[in-house]
Structures are given as C-alpha cells and as structure tokens.
Amino acid sequence: MSCVFLRFKSDRWTRSLYTLRYLHASEIRPSKSSHLLKSYFELGRFARPTGTWLLYLPCTWSIALAAPPGHLPDLYMLALFGMGSVLMRSAGCTINDMWDKKYDTLVKRTKDRPLASGALNFPQALLFLGAQLSASLVILLQLNWYSVFLGFMSMIPVITYPLFKRVTYWPQLVLGLTLNWGIWLGYSAINGFCVFSVCTPLYLAAVCWTCTYDTIYSHQDIEDDIRIGVKSTAILFGDRTKSYLGAFHMGMTACLITVGINANAGVVYYVGTFLTMCHIAHLIWKTDLKNPNSCWKTFKASRTTGLLYFLTIVLDKISL
C-alpha cells in the first residue's frame, strides 16, 4: 500500500515539475503541423483581406446592376461570389508566389513569404492550389452554364498574369483585366447572359480603377523592382505618375457615366458616382508616392471606393 502511495506521490510531483517548466518556459515551440498551417495561411494572404475585397466588389456591382428596378441585389449570389472571391484571391496569390519565388527573395517586403523563405516547397504549394481551385469549382458549378464557361475562361489570365511583370511595363493593365472578370460572371449569373452595353463600360471602368490603385501599390517596391528587373506602371510613369492617375480617373468617370446611361439609371446613381469619383480624387491627391506607408493606406482605402459605388447602385435601384 505504501509503495502505491509513494508511486502516486512521485507521479504527482513529476507532473507538477513539467507544469512548472511549461509555465516558465521562455519560448513555446509550435508543432510542425501548426507551422505548416500558418505557412498556408500566409500563402493565401488570408490575414490581408483588402485584395479579396478588390476582387469581390466589382462582382457586387454587376450583381446589383442586374437586379430589376425596385429590388435589392440577390443576397444568395452576393454570398456565393463572396466565398468564391476568398478562394480565388488566395489561389491567385499562390500562383503569383509560385511564379515569383526567385524575385520575392530579393525584395524586402516579400522575402519572408512562405515560398521565398523556404517555409513551404513547390509541391506543397501545388497541393494547396489544387485544394483552392477544387473548392472554387464547387462554387462555380452553382451558376448557370454561361457563367461556368466565363469562369473557366478567367483561368487563362489568372495563371499567366505574373509573367507579364517580366515582359511589359503594363502588368497593372493585365491585372485589371484579370481581377475584374467577375463583372461578366456577376451579371450573367443573375440574367443568364451579359448586356454588353452595360457590362463593357463597367468592366473598362473597373480596369481603370485597378490601374489606379495598383500603380500606387507598386510604388512601395519601386526601388527593389528597378534593381531586380521587374516592370510596372510605377516605374514607367515615374515622377509623372499622378498625371497618369488623373487620366485613369477621367477614363473611369466617363465609363461609369456610360454605364448609367445604358442601364437607364436615375438621379441617385449620378450623385453617388460623383461622390465615388471625388473619393478617388482625394485618395490620389493625398498619397505620397515616395512613402510606402502612404501608398499602402491608399491601397487599403480603395475598398471604401468600391463599397461607395456598390451602395450607389443599390440605392438607385430601390429608388426606381
């Protein structure tokens, strides 16, 4: 009996000792699996949702425009496209990092990304990409076949976009054509087809918008990009960047007015569009292109721009 008691007491002291060592440890080492999950989380940029918003918001514009007068946009479609945007944005980031691994190691802002730092290898990234695209396909198949076809077409620019940074100073234009493809899907998901007189100017407006915020974003890395040979509109425009941003602003304004005319929009639409464009003009004016923090803040604020225009369309629709 005494032996059993002594053994129990010994075990209790052992457990207490391990507990004290755990509580007073200077560093708790995460498990290998938690490191892996953290790396996948970083690869998909899930902690930085701005890019997801910038992919999602153009979809909401076309979904709202496709709604009948006097009606709110289809909430089911908004939710479906929201989930799809999270998945496809993270897949786009994975593809981008797979192409750009060599360049990311040479840039201060990107050298700690999972592939560049070695936290993940290429097969692991490819497996993750397969899971992302498979989940995205499940969502895409909830739409009509016209939209499914458009969704498959979008994969060509999604996969090839990162290559354009090597061959042209206009990768922002290619990004705009890629990132705003959801405009076509959003409209066709509601009506089963695209009204080109509405969708085309809306798409071009969104491309101008992307060229604006991503040129500003690219100014964060302009010195590193010049050094390693990566091209961008920020490098092409140089000290004339704000003049070009003004040109994009005018192009976007003209396209959105065309959307309103062709969609038979009411007064609310034009008032809201005016306020939206004033917001963009203010962002351009206040951004210090030589200050990376200022560029990043403006990039993040672009989400507000997209939400303003979405709200404009919704309010106009229910007022008709």
Each residue of 297-313: pLDDT tens digit? 999 999 999 999 999 99
Residue 105 exposed, middle or buried by CB count within 10 Å (0-12, 13-18, 19+): middle
DSSP 111: T
**How many Å apart are CA 131 and CA 127, to the nearest integer?**
6
pLDDT at 1 over 90: no
pLDDT at 55 over 90: yes
- Name, in order, each residue with C-beta under 8 angstroms of 217's C-beta and a sequence gap of 6 or more: 295, 296, 299
DSSP 162: G
The pLDDT confidence band at residue 66, using thresholds 50, 70 and 90, is: very high
The pLDDT confidence band at residue 249, using thresholds 50, 70 and 90, is: very high
Which domains, ranges and CATH numbers included, belong to the chain? 48-319 (1.10.357.140)
CA-only gyration radius of the chain, Å: 24
Cα angle 92, 81, 275 (rounded to 5 degrees) comes to 95
| pLDDT value at residue 4 | 40
pLDDT, the chain, mean? 90
- Name, in order, each residue with C-beta under 8 angstroms of 48's C-beta and a sequence gap of 6 or more: none
Each residue of 139-189: pLDDT tens digit? 999 999 999 999 999 999 999 998 999 999 999 999 999 999 999 999 999
Average pLDDT of the segment spanning 60-69? 97
- Name, in order, each residue with C-beta under 8 angstroms of 234's C-beta and a sequence gap of 6 or more: 215, 216, 218, 219, 222, 225, 241, 289
**How many Å apart are CA 285 and CA 307, to the nearest integer?**
20
Phi and psi angles of residue 67, each rounded to the nearest 5 degrees, phi first: -70, 145
User: How many percent of the chain have pLDDT more than 70?
Assistant: 90
